[in-house]
Amino acid sequence: MAVSTQFPHQYVGYVTTTDSFYIADYTDQTKTSTVKRGVEFHLGTAPADNVFFTLTNNIGLEIGGIPFDNSSFICGGNPRSQCECVVFPHDSTTDSWVLFSELKYCQNNTTKNSKQIKKAIRQLYRTRHYYVQHGIITKQNTSYLIVSLPLQNVPFKGFTPTPAQLVKLKRDRNIILAFRNNSSVIDQKLLSVV
């Protein structure tokens, strides 16, 4: 992936592992603390102090990830909307998978879920668009856009696209939109999100 040349400031946060990825967002949790934390990767061991999204990697494929923050995408001096992070095979090819994840820490409330899920989808689309726009990924790369609500069990209550909408996304844009708190690496070209 051409992240290192297109967004070198993001590449500074790049980490790799052959273990599972646990992704947690501490932004709200540390909002009033003197020490602020944001999106963090926990490699191989789940965090004990927060709930999280899990990318299970039982096959030991070397995968890498970049956590995003308010300086990840800037336009006209202002931060642009983005998701929490991107994860992909370390030795990516033109048809490797790429995972964009957005975590929302909301309780099981249908009205709030609907708003949070729609916002998460927008953030995921925008972040993917930035990567496509800069030639980092193409339509050949299957993009997994994952909305995670770590405080809740799947299926999440609230907004859910129709099966026809999900099929159209995959067919027209090679996007798999999923609502999960976990997924698994199958190989360099495929993730499991069921």
User: pLDDT tens digits for 97-154?
Assistant: 999 999 999 887 777 888 999 999 999 999 999 999 999 999 999 999 999 999 999 9
- Burial (Cβ within 10 Å: 0-12, 13-18, ≥19) of residue 115: middle
* Under 8 Å between Cβ of 191 and 97: yes
Whole-number Å distance between alpha carbons of 63 and 172:
26
Predicted local confidence at residue 137, as pLDDT? 94
Predicted local confidence at residue 152, as pLDDT? 94
Q: What is the mean pLDDT of residues 74-93?
A: 90
Predicted local confidence at residue 159, as pLDDT? 79
Query: ∠ CA 124-125-128 to the nearest 5 degrees?
Result: 85
For 154, residues 6+ apart whose C-beta sits below 8 A from its C-beta are 179, 180, 181
Predicted local confidence at residue 4, as pLDDT? 76
What type of residue sits at position 39? V
Top-confidence residue, 71 or 113: 113
| 28: three-class secondary structure by DSSP | coil
Predicted local confidence at residue 45, as pLDDT? 97
Q: What is the pTM of this model?
A: 0.94
User: pLDDT tens digits for 12-66?
Assistant: 889 999 999 999 999 988 989 999 999 999 999 999 999 999 999 999 999 999 9
- The answer to whether residue 1 scores a pLDDT higher than 70 is no
What type of residue sits at position 8? P
- The answer to whether residue 73 scores a pLDDT higher than 90 is no
Predicted local confidence at residue 3, as pLDDT? 80
Domain ranges of the chain: 3-190
CA distances from 36 to 29, 30, 101 (A): 9, 5, 21
User: pLDDT tens digits for 161-180?
Assistant: 899 999 999 999 999 999 99
Whole-number Å distance between alpha carbons of 145 and 111:
22
> What is the per-residue DSSP string for 98-149?
EEEEEE----S-HHHHHHHHHHHHHHHHHHHHHHHHTTSS-TTSPEEEEEE-
